[in-house]
Amino acid sequence: MDGFTLFIIVGIGLLTTVAIAIWSFRRYEVTVFLTGLSPWLSALFIPNVPDEFQREGMGSYLRIGILLFAGTIGAIEYFRLRDRGEKLPFYLVLLGIFLSVALASTSYSIDPLYTFIRSSSFIFLFGFLLGLHVWLQDRQRFEGILNTLFLLVSFFIIINTVSIVIFPERVWWWNGENRFQGLWGHPNNMGSICMIAYPVLLWKYFRSTPLRRPFVLLLFVASAFMHFLTGSRASMITAFFGIFVWFFIQKKKVKLILSLGLLCVLALFVVEFRPISLQREEGAKLTDLTDREKFWYGSYVLLMERPLLGYGYGVEGKIWEDPRFYDTKGTLWSGSVKASLHNGYFSIAVGLGMIGFFVWCLILFIPLWQSRSLPFNDFKSFALTVMLMCMLLNFLESLLGGVDSLAAIIFWIAWVLVGRLSNTYQEGEDGQHLYDLGKSLR
């Protein structure tokens, strides 16, 4: 490639970036869409090979670059739109403190570079969340965010459904050809995408015209079909839990009973016929934890050895280099810094100690607690369903401690949405327009 060609490519790239930045300032939904797209762009470049042969490549740089872009846009929007003297809600301040500590843990981390990269990526997302917080000022913007999420999950459902035909060698997991991973690099990642799609689709379905509802329903069926193919048991359980929560919050008794009935029928089907996507090692039971209990016990032992500060944010997988827990035959063992503890709460505790874990729990639960005073409506149903589903799945997968999953990003968006609405509503007259918004979304 000669110098002139390189100059043209760089120039086009810069012009495109400037154009997208201007568009993002005019419509923050663009920033939301790009942020949701970032983990998929990273997964798209991951080869379908064992973990030890995977390398960080162009996808990771794209993901971090998009997060940096979104964080910059968000930070600028925060300082541009916030009212003079306006204070950040406590839960956002707490998240900022937590991420500062996470970045500081680079100084004692057992893998400083990885801690720096992961904490910096989360800080970029924090900048995006700050911008989202101040940008949400009227009904149109709340609905704009949810419609953007609908567009995002629709894109992923369609493209992963089509990939079954177009890229059959790519969409089935290397370690189990009976499990569908789509274009997401792992069946559990694909399962979490399907799980997080349901509350978005439910929100859109009940707000669509009769002519558009069949399309939303078709997306729901396609997502459920792919979800079944992933064999991701944890995300299936949390998905059923989330649908139950949705109708419970909505106080729709008939649909609640129907959803429970459907759950019972599907549970009986799974137990009786053992679909191939849900089969694991020979002799393993359907309720087998796939050696997760070994991970959790080892995590507890290591946490007790460094209970205050932990081993550094985001590097919990590297602790399996400890010879006491070295097990190359373990079902989930990979022996690298990227290995998951399959429990997001343990991941935070092992990374930042019990103090960090306590702060983390406060960050997650404060907006939930504040939302109890909000009127019942579709928006509240969406936000609480997303948050409760993800927090439950976080017990079996390391979901919320990073920004490399679409489910995690949508969780943090819902976290800001419900926090923004709750906080403004509690302010009284100053929050009346957002209180009216909540009532209008019934």
Q: Does any domain span residue 24?
A: yes
Q: How many CA atoms lie within 13 A of 122 on its CB side?
A: 21
* pLDDT (mean) for 24-29: 80
Q: Does any domain span residue 66?
A: yes
Q: Does any domain span residue 431?
A: yes
Range of the structural domain that residue 313 is part of: 3-437
Q: Does any domain span residue 359?
A: yes
The neighbour count for residue 134, using CB atoms within 10 Å, is 19
pLDDT (0 to 100) of residue 50: 62
* Tokens linked to 368: 């939930």
* pLDDT (mean) for 109-124: 92
Closest C-alpha among 107, 121, 19 to residue 70: 121
* Tokens linked to 333: 């063992």
Q: Give the pLDDT band (50/70/90) at residue 412.
A: very high
- The answer to whether residues 417 and 135 touch, using CB atoms and an 8 Å cutoff, is no
* pLDDT (mean) for 270-284: 52
pTM: 0.86
For residue 429, pLDDT beyond 50: no
Beta bridge partners of 180: 172
pLDDT (0 to 100) of residue 293: 74
Q: Which of 33-42, 260-269, 298-307, 362-371 has the lowest mean pLDDT?
A: 260-269
pLDDT (0 to 100) of residue 87: 82
Q: Higher pLDDT residue, 2 or 235?
A: 235
The winner for highest mean pLDDT among 60-74, 75-89, 276-290 is 60-74
Q: Give the pLDDT band (50/70/90) at residue 288.
A: very low
For residue 260, pLDDT beyond 80: no
Give pLDDT tens digits for 125-154: 999 999 999 998 877 888 899 999 999 999
pLDDT (0 to 100) of residue 385: 93
The neighbour count for residue 347, using CB atoms within 10 Å, is 28
pLDDT (0 to 100) of residue 325: 61
pLDDT (0 to 100) of residue 283: 45
The total of structural domains in the chain comes to 1
pLDDT (0 to 100) of residue 155: 94
* pLDDT (mean) for 424-437: 51
Give pLDDT tens digits for 379-392: 888 999 999 999 99
Q: What is the mean pLDDT of the chain?
A: 80
Q: Does any domain span residue 442?
A: no
For residue 340, pLDDT beyond 90: no
For residue 17, pLDDT beyond 80: no
